[in-house]
């Protein structure tokens, strides 16, 4: 959420920045709603001041043993007006707040300008891809040939986009999760959590999924709960409505979770195999940091995620997203993409984002500075990593001509074997 005072004082420059994300952005209605609310607040304060004066007058009359029906009647009328204005104030305050929740985050000045993913910038390219001296098979064919995933059984029980891992496939999925958790815990001082997979609406509001992306989430209406699209939601809300001490920062949190996404706007896109599914597994990294260090923390977060790809011996590249491709909540973001030789395409496996104070304002997550002042901290998150496309790229990259799969050395202790055949 953007501070309304910042919008009030810098409407033109903020609109200009936001139009790099969304050309239709206009803040006129927000500024007007803010002005109306402030005028109403002044009227309400004036009436409350009059109410206090009249109450004191009545107190004086009572102390003198006097009574004035007209003064009592005037106070009664005034109290009625105040109650009506208070109700109007609550309504207008809620309207303004809802308008602010619909405004995307402002891109950082360093983010390259652009309208679509075509204008993203490759900051680290893959110099040479692993050579495969035969026609590589897709992960779908490999998974079926080696009996690793039963797509049909998954679809039978839950519909398309719900793969059923089995045998060595289930073992490989679990190995990836445990390897990534252990790597981050051992090397980067994260605290591990195992969070709820269901959250209240206010938690999804904090991280920016609600209200704008309601259609992309699985919603349990009877209990007013949402299935998380990522553990970022539950991890970030650990400190909702809290004030952390400066000495508490930075905080690095990690969690594995199943993730659930309706993918409502992507019908017919990348539906084959594991490329776009409704339920998947992910190891999520979340940071709570001082505002002065958040961009250094973004670089280190991105580097941490790439170490996993190095150890899995996958070809990858790092993409800096342009303004038009940034997510709703991000001020700056790097995507990590791995090469899938069977699919012959790059697959996104992680997004590492700095949200600055966008989420902390929505969730009221603050810290107490050295001078005692309370301010909003910065939050970051990154996938460390999501498994479906890693699983796909791993099968396609490490396949052999005889149909077997070599297991990267880093995964072998978790698999207990050097190959799947």
Q: Which residues are catalytic?
A: 261, 276, 348, 351, 389
Q: Which residue in 356, 412, 403 sits closest to 148, CA to CA?
A: 403
* Backbone φ, ψ for residue 324 (5° rounding): -75, -15
Q: Which residue in 1, 174, 6 sits closest to 98, CA to CA?
A: 1
CA distance 290 to 288: 7
Residue 47 parent element (H or E): helix 28-63
* Pairing assessment for the beta strands 251-260 and 279-289 based on DSSP bridges: antiparallel
Which CA distances in Å does 140 have to 16, 163, 263, 312?
45, 11, 20, 20
Instruction: Report yes or no: 310 and 279 within 8 Å, Cβ to Cβ.
Output: no
Question: 399-414 burial, b for 16+ CB within 10 Å, e for fewer?
Answer: beeeebbbbbeebeeb
Residue 366 parent element (H or E): strand 365-368
- The set of residues, in sequence order, having a beta carbon less than 8 Å from that of 24 and lying 6+ positions away, is none
Instruction: Report yes or no: 220 and 226 within 8 Å, Cβ to Cβ.
Output: yes
């Amino acid at each position: 959420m953007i501070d309304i005072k910042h919008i009030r004082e810098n409407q033109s420059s903020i609109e200009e920045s936001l139009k790099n994300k969304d050309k239709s952005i206009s803040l006129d209605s927000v500024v007007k709603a803010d002005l109306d609310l402030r005028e109403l607040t002044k009227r309400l304060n004036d009436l409350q001041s009059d109410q206090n004066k009249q109450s004191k007058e009545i107190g004086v009359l009572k102390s003198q043993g006097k009574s004035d029906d007209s003064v009592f009647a005037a106070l009664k009328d005034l109290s009625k007006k105040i109650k009506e204005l208070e109700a109007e104030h609550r309504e207008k305050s809620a309207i303004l707040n809802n308008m602010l929740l619909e405004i995307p985050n402002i891109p950082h000045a360093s983010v390259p300008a652009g309208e679509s993913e075509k204008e993203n910038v490759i900051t680290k390219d893959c110099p040479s891809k692993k050579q495969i001296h035969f026609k590589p098979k897709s992960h779908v064919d490999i998974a079926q040939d080696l009996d690793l995933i039963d797509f049909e059984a998954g679809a039978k029980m839950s519909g398309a986009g719900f793969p059923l891992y089995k045998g060595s496939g289930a073992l490989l999925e679990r190995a990836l999760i445990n390897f990534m958790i252990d790597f981050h815990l051992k090397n980067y001082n994260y605290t591990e959590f195992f969070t709820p997979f269901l959250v209240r609406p206010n938690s999804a509001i904090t991280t920016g999924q609600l209200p704008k992306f309601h259609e992309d989430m699985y919603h349990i209406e009877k209990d007013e709960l949402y299935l998380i699209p990522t553990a970022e939601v539950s991890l970030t809300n650990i400190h909702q409505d809290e004030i952390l001490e400066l000495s508490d920062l930075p905080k690095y949190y990690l969690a594995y979770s199943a993730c659930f996404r309706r993918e409502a706007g992507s019908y017919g896109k990348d539906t084959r195999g594991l490329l776009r599914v409704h339920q998947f597994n992910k190891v999520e990294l979340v940071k709570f940091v001082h505002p002065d260090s958040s961009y250094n923390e973004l670089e280190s977060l991105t580097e941490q995620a790439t170490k996993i790809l190095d150890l899995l011996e996958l070809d990858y590249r790092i993409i800096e997203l342009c303004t038009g491709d940034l997510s709703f909540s991000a001020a700056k973001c790097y995507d990590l993409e791995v090469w899938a030789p069977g699919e012959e395409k790059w697959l996104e496996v992680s997004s590492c984002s700095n949200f600055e104070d966008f989420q902390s304002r929505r969730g009221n997550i603050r810290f107490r500075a050295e001078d005692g002042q309370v301010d909003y901290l910065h939050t970051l998150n990154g996938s460390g990593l999501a498994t479906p496309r890693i699983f796909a790229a791993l099968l396609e990259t490490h396949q052999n001509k005889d149909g077997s799969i070599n297991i990267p050395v880093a995964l072998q202790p978790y698999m207990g074997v050097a190959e799947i055949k």
